[in-house]
Amino acid sequence: MIKILDGKIIAQQIKAKIKSQVITITNRKPKLAVIIIGEDLASQMYVRTKIKACQECGIDGQVFSLTTTVTQKEIINKIEQLNSDNNIDGILVQLPLPKHLDTLAIINSITINKDVDGLTNINAGKLLQGDKKAMLPCTVKGILKLLNHYQIPISKQNITIINDSNIVGKPLALSLTNMGATVSIVHKLTKDLTIYTKEADIICSATGVYNIINSSQVKRDVVIIDVAINYQGKEKKVVGDINFEIMKNTASAITPVPGGVGPMTIAMLLENLMICYQLNNKYN
């Protein structure tokens, strides 16, 4: 019988634990600063979801909305102000950014103790070196937490990741490699996905392309981690990369969309913020 990897339930448990921790804090509460640039509807929705999750746990959240005409220097100046603000514990820049901006330069202006997204070059370098103190990107951390909760082995497993981004694919590959997996990264330039997916014990897909692989391209009892959010048909039904109804007849375990990786990503943001809060209170 297929195992549904329900991220919503686990995320609720994590948020309840964080809420209980925040209640015991007698001085100032943890605080997250979110910078959003432009009026992209999906980005605005994600920011609202993050701020709502903060509020549910008693965490302060503040949004800094900037127009698409903002300059890179103005954004970095704002981040530097937040870096020096002792009341701010985590800084999150909502991605993607407008094309005229240098994403890496902006992300890397965040001080390491407030890098709640784990995307700065310092945390990326720590992850590359296998430093367990590296702050992991929230989606990556959420995936690892899901696999651990459902006791899905990682060591000695063949894992294919269909994504090569700095947010998901690359840090997830490093994390899994550090845990003893043999990892392949495939992407839009890969000639034949099937070569890699057919041999995989676990497949993680985050492409934004619905039905990117079918049941004939995977082996029996594969574990499917579907990271993507897509909208299908006139009714805009929320789906992932994988046809859930078809693949559940082949896979041994699969994440639903929605309700799988998404809630875990938000929960890991809160968990990372609490780590930053402890670091900032230690050094301030």
Where residue 151 falls (left for φ over 0; alpha for ψ -120 to 50; beta otherwise) is left
Task: Please compute Rg for the chain using Cα positions.
Answer: 19
For residue 284, the Cα-to-chain-centroid distance in whole angstroms is: 28
The residue annotated as part of the active site, out of 50, 114, 170, 248, is 50
164 is in an annotated binding site: yes
Q: Which helix (H) or strand (E) holds 223?
A: strand 223-226
Specify whether 221 is catalytic.
Answer: no
163 is in an annotated binding site: yes
The residue annotated as part of the active site, out of 115, 117, 226, 241, is 117
205 is in an annotated binding site: no
Specify whether 117 is catalytic.
Answer: yes
Amino acid at 69: T
155 is in an annotated binding site: no
Where residue 208 falls (left for φ over 0; alpha for ψ -120 to 50; beta otherwise) is left
Specify whether 102 is catalytic.
Answer: no
Bond from prior residue into 263 cis (ω within 30 degrees of 0): no
The residue annotated as part of the active site, out of 31, 94, 157, 248, is 94
> Which residue numbers are catalytic?
50, 94, 117
Q: What residues form the annotated binding site for NADP(+)? A: 163-165, 229
Residues in binding site: 163-165, 229
